[in-house]
Amino acid sequence: MTGLRRRKILTVGASVAAIAVMTGLVSYSPTLYRLFCSVTGYGGTVQQAKSVKFGISRRTVVVRFDTNVAPGLDWEFRPLQAQVTTHLGEPTEVYFYSKNLADHPIVARAIYNVTPFKVGPYFTKTQCFCFTNEVLKPGESARMPVVFYVDPQLAKDANTSDVETITLSYTFFKSADQGPAQDMGARVSAEATQDKALVGEAAKARAQAAAHGDATYATPPMISETAASRGSGTP
């Protein structure tokens, strides 16, 4: 009798526990599914943990710089570094130099290209001098910052994972409207301050990680200038 009663209690207990577990699973299924997706990346869910850990990826790419001046614009325009080696996801600041060679103020506008073209979706500039009218007074020069990063997704896309070198190319055109425009020197200084924090934090992260022996961030110098560079040396 005692044994039968115990078995009954066990059966009821097991049934209640099974129902509780199933009810729990049903109740929390959306949460559990999201958890599953976040762990596996299934269904295109961004892998949160991985993003944080590899916000700045171990993988590097070389970004080269190319500059052009359209006919009719009497400006000197060149990159201040021929290329940089940057980690995917790392905000990187580079500089370009322009100088008005004419004896009168000139307003100009720049456009840009990123090649290979397939890399475009993964190349993001957070600061640049393109598309807006810029003016340089006679003989005036400006050092213009560009801040960019390359999305780590580049390495995961089968179409772009093989890319090791990217070229960022700028072309300056003389504007038809030679009226008042923003002074380039003043504007680029103000914008540079906004992005300094972003680049500074990234550099600090790398330096600290390197000091602690984290190979993930132990990298070659951020800006590598070559002797053949048009932009090597000071302006």
User: Quick check: 60 binds another protein (CB under 8 A)?
Assistant: no
Using CB under 8 A, which of 59, 64, 121, 223 touches another protein?
121
CA atoms in the 13 A half-sphere facing the CB of 141: 13
Phi, psi of 17 (to 5 degrees): -65, -40
> Which residue among 5, 26, 31, 44 contacts another protein (CB under 8 A)?
44
Q: Is 222 in the site for another protein (CB under 8 A)?
A: no
Residue 11 corresponds to which tokens in the numbers above? 């059966």
Considering only residues 162 to 191 of the shown chain, the ones binding another protein according to CB under 8 A are 169, 171, 173, 175-177
Report the nearest approach of another protein to the CB of residue 75 (Å).
13
Question: Can you tell me which of 77, 82, 84, 89 binds another protein, judged by CB under 8 A?
Answer: 89
Whole-angstrom distance, CA of residue 96 vs CA of residue 174 = 17
Q: What 3-state DSSP class applies to 188?
A: helix
- Cβ distance to another protein smaller for residue 13 or 120: 120
Q: Is position 78 an interface residue for another protein (rule: CB under 8 A)?
A: no
Residue 5 or 212 with smaller CB distance to another protein: 212
Q: What is the C-alpha to C-alpha distance for residues 125 and 166, in angstroms, rounded to an integer?
A: 13
CA R_g for the chain: 28
Residue 41 in the binding site for another protein (CB under 8 A): yes
Which helix (H) or strand (E) segment holds residue 167: the answer is: strand 165-174
Residue 81 sits at φ, ψ, to 5 deg, of -150, 140
Placement of tokens 């810029």 in the chain:
134
Residues that bind another protein (CB under 8 A): 39-44, 51-52, 55-56, 68, 70-71, 89, 91, 109, 111-114, 117, 120-122, 124-128, 130-132, 147, 149, 151, 153, 156-159, 169, 171, 173, 175-177, 194, 197-198, 201-202, 204-205, 208-209, 217
